[in-house]
Every structure is written in structure tokens, then in C-alpha cells.
């Protein structure tokens, strides 16, 4: 270790820069044989991304110091540079990179999930699984994305960290008026007993139609029913598509677990749901419904309550709590659907070059030495005073665990609206509310088969 410290001091003195944590002897040992010779590694998102923010807090500054050290230790300049734009524009740029085979320009490209399918099918991405310099089982990797980008023994893209998404908010005042302690719900979640049946029990107790006119003054639940469909399917051990034993993407939406989940959501919504008034209300109608106290539960994305004010529920008069969407009888864990930008590397480099790009990207996304990884993620999560500490300490923390994020492989074939929604002309997912899931599946199968044929048999 003394030898390492001496080496680091020599490097820092030579550069006339001393990172803030180096003297604490917390930086990792330099891996021999990895040297970029002063080359630039481009990080290519589809949006404009500043390399650094102004006035960073202590943890962010520690990250910058660590990244400065990485660049000096491995003689690499890491620069953010936008590549194309959302979706097809970026895909076209990647196609040009693949065609030109410019292996002298080093890149990690950040892509949205809904556009990786065709490039992945056409072998445009390099494999991450054959690199002994990195450990894909490390908890810093988003396990849902690793699963999503796995085909056979190969992993074609990665994401670091987890951004929790769809969850279930509840109105504390409505529970209190019904003599229900909101802590009951947190305790059920904590003990692994937060289930579909329990949610139905609460909805039944909390829905109010005091004048018996068929229009409740308080509904059991509202929110984004698409999120509820998706989370219910995957928390019940179901899926819509997955790879079969032959390595081909195939339809799995006919499984008992999937049909059961879709049917449960439809029944719950018919009995207790405050649905969208179409076309009078916009898709996010449920935000005002929940804020006004017109529904006890609300399916929404975490940003609705956890982001810095002003966010969707920051001006809500009643206090709220938040749990994960409950799990089904066939499921083992609560689930939400991951929606992340994925780091991919064009399949144009020799293995040595590819491995060192992956290594430096892995190191670049590691927690800076000296930063408490257990608490650094909290950031602004306590700033919304309408929420409570259990929502952060238990629910948000649980959603960050690798087991909680699930990936929907229908995104290989296109966005959810196109593949599962109504753009197909069959209205599969949105038709489940008043239709039979099995019959809807039969109607959409020919369309799905055409998409699968393109994905499984790409034009090279």
C-alpha cells in the first residue's frame, strides 16, 4: 500500500494537482496495462449534457475529484458530447458509426430502452459479459437493465444505479377519517404481506358513495392504469415477451400469471377506479383527482412526490404516504418497471480496446471514495414535507434494491403504445379493462409475430 501511495504522489506532483481524497489513501490501486495515451473517451447521450454542474455539494465535488484522478491515472480525457437526438435520430448516428468503423474514436453511447431492439438484433453492440476487468454482479449495476440487455451468454449494455419509477401514493387524511392507521400499509410492505387482496380490502373500506348516486365522493384508487397493468404482471411472475430456449424472443403474454394479473387490474378498476373522462380530461387527470382528495390511492411515478418542489403533489393539502404496488399471489417481490438510459459500446473495437473502455466507464461510475453510498442517494427526497420519512427510508430504499426493478422486453419491438397499446388497431392493453385478455391476445398475435420475425431474423 505504501508503494501505491508513493506512486500516486508522484503522479499528482507531476500533474501539479492533488485530489482532495488522495491523502486519505482511499483511491483504488491503478490497474497496470490500461493507458489511453491521452485519447478522448466520448460519452454520447441523445441530449445536451454539461460535463459538470456549478456549485456542487460535497458529495458531487468528491465525485468530480475522483473522476479527475481517473483521467490522470489512466491518461484519458472524458467528455460529454450529444449524439443525434431522441430515438431514430440517435439510431441513425450509431448506424453511421458502425458503417464507418472508426475504432480510433472511443465512445460510450447512452440510449433509451425503447430504441435498442433493432441495433441489438443487428449485432451493433459490444458484449460486456466477457470482460474480466469488471463484475456485472456488482450491486452498482441496474440488475433489471442487465437482464434486459442479456441475450444468451452476452450482455450488450449496462446502467449504473436505479431510478425508482411507478409506485402507489395514499392519502393519509382519507385513511384517518376511516379510522385506519397509515402505518399498517407500511408494515404490510415491510413484512412482505402487501398483496393484491390487501389493496382491495383498503379500496373497499375507503370508497365512499354516501348519496348512493353511483358516483363516489371518494374513489378507492386512481392513477396511471398502464403502470398498474405493467407492475401487476411482473409482480405476479408474468411477462409479455421473453427469450425461449432457442434464444428467440417469443410471446409469453398468454401465461397464467400474466392473464391473472391483467384480469385483476381490470376488476379492481371497474369496482374502485376513478378513470379518465375521455376526451374531456388529459392523460394526467389523476394528479388533480388525488390532490383534491377524490381518491384514496394513486398509481403514479415517484417524481410526483419525491422531487424538489414544485412537483405534482407538493401543493397537496393532505399529507401522503407511498408504498410499492402490491405483489400478486404468484410473485415473490414487489416490482416496478425500469426505464433507464443504457450505456452501449459500438461493436467496432478489438477486445483489448473494448475491455479498457468498459473498465474506465465502470470506474467512472463508481461511488467516489469517502462518500457514504448508503445515504448519498437520499439527496432531495426529504424536501417534500407532505410526504413522510417511511416513504423515503423504506419505500424508496426498497425500490432501489436490484430485485425491485423489472424490465419489459416488449421494448425490443418498439414503445409500449405501439406494441401493447392501441396503435396496433387491436387495442390490447387498453382494451383489457372491458375485454377478455385471452381473446385480445389472439387478436394481436399476428401483429406481434410480424414484429418478432423482424427482430429474430434481422437484415444484417
To the nearest 10°, report the CA torsion of 326, 206, 291, 339: 10
pLDDT on residue 424: 59
More confident residue, 3 or 342: 342
The helices-and-strands tally (H runs, E runs) of the chain is: 18, 14
List pLDDT tens digits, range 282-337.
999 999 999 999 999 999 999 999 887 889 998 899 999 999 999 999 999 999 99
Residue 153: pLDDT over 50? yes
What are the cell numbers at 348?
467496432
CA 245, CA 395: separation in Å to the nearest integer? 36
CA distance linking residue 231 with residue 216, whole number of Å: 26
- Average pLDDT (358-383) is 86
d(CA 73, CA 138): 23
Highest mean pLDDT of the ranges 4-13, 45-54, 181-190: 181-190
- The whole-model pTM stands at 0.89
Within 8 A by CB and 6+ apart from 419, the residues are 410, 411, 413, 448, 451
Which ranges of 57-154 would DSSP assign to H, the alpha helix? 58-73, 88-100, 117-121, 143-148
Of 115-124, 370-379, 411-420, give the range with the top mean pLDDT.
Answer: 115-124
Strands 150-151 and 154-155, bridge-based pairing: antiparallel
Q: Is the pLDDT of residue 177 over 80?
A: yes
Residue 163 has pLDDT above 60, yes or no: yes
Cβ atoms of 448 and 250 within 8 Å: the answer is no
Which of the following CATH numbers is that of domain 31-163+339-364: 3.90.1200.10, 3.40.190.10, 3.40.50.720, 3.30.70.1070? Answer: 3.40.190.10
pLDDT at 460 over 60: no
Measured CA to CA, the distance from residue 112 to residue 455 in angstroms comes to: 18
Whether the Cβ atoms of residue 374 and residue 124 lie closer than 8 Å to each other: no
Q: Please give the average per-residue pLDDT across 152-164, as a whole number.
A: 94
State the SS3 of 240-308: CEEECCCCCEEECCCCHHHHHHHHHHHHHHHHHECCCCCCCCCCCHHHHHHHCCCEEEEEEECHHHHCC
CA distance 387 to 390: 9
Are 264 and 133 within 8 A, CB to CB? Answer: no
The CATH superfamily assigned to 166-337+388-456 is Periplasmic binding protein-like II (3.40.190.10)
Considering the chain, what is the average pLDDT of its residues?
Answer: 91
| pLDDT at residue 423 is higher than 70 | no
Q: Are 31-163+339-364 and 166-337+388-456 the same fold in CATH? A: yes
Alpha carbon distance 18, 299 (integer Å)? 49
pLDDT higher at 134 or 25: 134
pLDDT band at 422 (very low <50, low <70, confident <90, very high): low
Q: How high is the pLDDT of residue 35?
A: 97
Nearest to 174 by CA among 303, 291, 326, 313: 291
Which of these, 252, 240, 283, lies nearest to 420 by C-alpha position?
240
- Geometric angle at alpha carbon 254, from 253 and 260, rounded to 5°: 90
pLDDT of amino acid 14:
38
Domain residue limits, the chain: 31-163+339-364, 166-337+388-456
Amino acid at each position: 500500500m505504501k508503494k501505491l501511495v508513493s506512486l500516486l504522489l508522484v503522479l499528482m506532483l507531476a500533474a501539479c494537482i492533488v485530489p482532495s481524497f488522495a491523502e486519505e489513501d482511499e483511491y483504488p490501486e491503478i490497474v497496470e496495462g490500461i493507458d489511453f495515451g491521452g485519447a478522448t473517451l466520448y460519452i454520447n447521450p441523445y441530449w445536451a449534457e454539461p460535463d459538470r454542474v456549478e456549485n456542487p455539494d460535497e458529495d458531487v465535488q468528491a465525485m468530480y475529484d475522483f473522476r479527475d484522478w481517473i483521467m490522470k491515472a489512466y491518461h484519458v480525457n472524458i467528455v460529454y458530447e450529444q449524439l443525434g437526438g431522441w430515438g431514430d435520430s440517435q439510431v441513425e448516428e450509431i448506424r453511421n458509426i458502425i458503417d464507418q468503423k472508426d475504432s480510433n474514436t472511443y465512445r460510450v453511447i447512452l440510449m433509451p430502452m425503447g430504441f435498442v431492439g433493432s441495433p441489438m438484433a443487428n449485432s451493433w453492440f459490444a458484449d460486456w459479459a466477457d470482460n474480466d476487468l469488471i463484475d456485472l454482479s456488482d450491486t452498482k449495476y441496474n440488475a433489471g437493465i442487465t437482464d434486459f440487455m442479456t441475450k444468451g451468454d452476452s450482455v450488450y449494455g449496462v446502467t449504473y444505479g436505479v431510478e425508482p419509477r411507478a409506485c402507489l401514493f395514499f392519502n393519509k387524511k382519507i385513511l384517518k377519517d376511516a379510522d385506519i392507521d397509515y402505518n399498517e400499509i407500511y408494515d404490510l410492505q415491510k413484512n412482505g404481506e402487501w398483496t393484491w387482496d390487501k389493496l382491495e380490502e383498503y379500496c373497499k373500506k375507503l370508497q365512499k358513495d354516501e348519496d348512493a348516486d353511483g358516483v363516489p365522493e371518494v374513489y378507492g384508487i386512481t392513477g396511471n392504469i398502464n403502470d398498474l397493468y405493467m407492475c401487476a404482471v411482473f409482480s405476479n411472475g408474468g411477462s409479455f415477451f421473453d427469450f425461449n430456449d432457442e434464444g428467440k424472443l417469443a410471446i409469453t403474454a398468454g401465461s397464467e400469471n400474466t392473464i391473472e394479473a391483467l384480469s385483476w387490474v381490470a376488476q379492481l378498476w371497474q369496482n374502485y377506479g376513478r378513470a379518465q373522462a375521455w376526451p374531456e380530461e388529459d392523460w394526467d387527470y389523476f394528479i388533480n383527482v388525488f390532490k383534491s382528495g377524490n381518491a384514496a390511492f394513486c398509481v403514479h411515478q415517484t417524481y410526483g412526490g419525491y422531487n424538489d418542489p414544485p412537483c405534482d403533489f407538493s401543493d397537496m393539502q393532505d399529507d401522503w404516504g407511498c408504498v410499492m404496488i402490491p405483489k400478486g399471489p404468484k410473485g415473490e417481490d414487489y416490482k416496478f418497471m425500469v426505464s433507464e438510459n443504457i450505456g452501449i459500446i459500438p461493436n467496432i473495437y478489438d477486445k483489448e480496446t473494448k475491455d479498457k473502455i468498459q473498465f474506465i466507464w465502470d470506474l467512472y461510475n463508481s461511488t467516489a471514495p469517502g462518500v457514504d453510498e448508503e445515504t448519498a442517494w437520499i439527496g432531495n427526497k426529504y424536501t417534500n414535507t407532505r410526504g413522510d420519512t417511511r416513504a423515503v427510508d423504506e419505500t424508496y430504499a426498497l425500490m432501489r434494491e436490484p430485485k425491485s426493478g423489472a424490465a419489459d422486453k416488449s421494448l425490443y419491438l418498439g414503445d409500449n403504445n405501439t406494441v401493447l397499446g392501441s396503435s396496433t388497431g387491436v387495442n390490447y392493453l387498453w382494451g383489457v379493462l372491458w375485454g377478455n385478455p385471452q381473446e385480445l391476445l389472439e387478436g394481436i398475435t399476428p401483429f406481434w409475430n410480424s414484429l418478432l420475425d423482424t427482430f429474430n431474423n434481422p437484415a444484417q
